[in-house]
Structure 1
Amino acid sequence: MAAGDRRCPRKLRMSRARGPSGLELVLRPARVEASLWRRLRLEAQFECRTELFDRYAAFARGIAGSRYRRRASKRVDRSDFEQFAFEGLLEAIDRFDPLTGVPFTAYARRRIVGAIADGVGRMTEVDAQMTQRGRLERERARSLTASQLASLQPADPLAALSDLAIGLALGLMLEGTGLMAPASGADPRPTPYEGAAWREMQARLVREVDRLPDRERLIIRQHYDTGLSFTHIAQMLGLSRSRVSQIHRSAIDRLRARSGALK
């Protein structure tokens, strides 16, 4: 073996002794997650809470689906189970101590299962009849209505109602873009007869969502993609619910202004 060849193993050992490279750190999920926990706990970088939530949202949704299939009451909608699961996940993220050595999934599972049990137990018959999907739609409508009432001119009520209708239509279109999966399994998209123009406008709308300011884009995606309520988004971002509603309204107004074809 040549002298240069004999030195290669030593160089390799020295490289390993120095630890992983920056690229290796990025490519190792466990190290990336450890960095998120460190930045959240020690540096109070609360945007890490959103990243951790996104990492474990499917885990929480899976637990919700399992509990939903074994539910005792047929009145409670699956989306309600998912909202309770997300509530438990957010609580677990806020309370988890990574230094204990307990895997987060083991810690979070108990919180999520408990949150689902508590949430279903709290629901009255009236609450159960109004599904989470309906609550999200009402919440969305209240956000947009507040904006219209603030600027309503007595001489122009039809214009205000038209603006409100456009805002609600944008919400409906966002649900059909793939940003939000239908909770009931039904396909909310238009029929083939209406399809071409609708799909063209949806594609345009998705592009406009990507151009929104960071916080507006985050709230739109969490609300329409994950299906999080304003209350849970507020908890995740450390904002008030009213502030999340305002940001949602601002995002819809911005999308409406850019989507001239809807006017």
Structure 2
Amino acid sequence: MERARTAPLMLPTQEEAALWAAARAGDVAARGRLIDAYLPFARIMAARQYAARVDYDIEFDDYLQYATVGLIESVDRFDPAYGNLFKTFAAHRIQGAVANGLEQLSEKRVQIATRRRLLAERRDCAATALGAGADLFQQLAEVALSLALGFTLEDAAGSAQAGAEAPPHPYGALEMVQLRARLQALVAGLPPRERLVIKSHYLNHLPFNQIADSMGISKGRVSQLHRSALEQLRKSMHAMRACDLAW
């Protein structure tokens, strides 16, 4: 049953030649017929790359999806007038489509995992600062405020590297520009070690353990410097009384 499902669909030579000619002339039905005929070939190519995988976190369906994309691109670009076999032409493109797709997928997964780890560190840092005596509402409020300030710091750091997209409302755009400028100035005014922790964490997206290694201190000390920096920034912004966030 599996063999029947994955075996390539054999087209008579004359029929396939007619389909290629029709597809090159813009016949959508002929194009679809060719794609259907070679889908089992794309599946075989995906299975080969899946069998040779080193990253076991990615499912076969992802391999098959990218192989199918490569097959469709091959059908659209193949010209039988050059005398090449379609499978030879398509094999390299299918392999490349799978490799490129998996690379982008892996980068996205790494970014998501890094983002989650950074957020978890900030949340734990805020909760730890309160100690066991704090009530639940105070803990939730502290964590929320710390995360809000963290998001604003990331936005300010990103806007310093590249022009950020302005909000649709002109007053909102001006407000955000002012907020980013104030935060950047306040960060620049932090003590050197606190400033280094904030820039490393929010601008370079480094977790606390990597910051600790680079500074030659413990991860716990980095967490303390992070809490101290956020507290100083919150007090400074509260004193300025010109911020949208509720401190």
- Give the structure with higher Rg (CA): 2
Q: TM-score, structure 2 length as denominator?
A: 0.48
RCO higher in structure (CA 8 A, sep ≥6) = 1
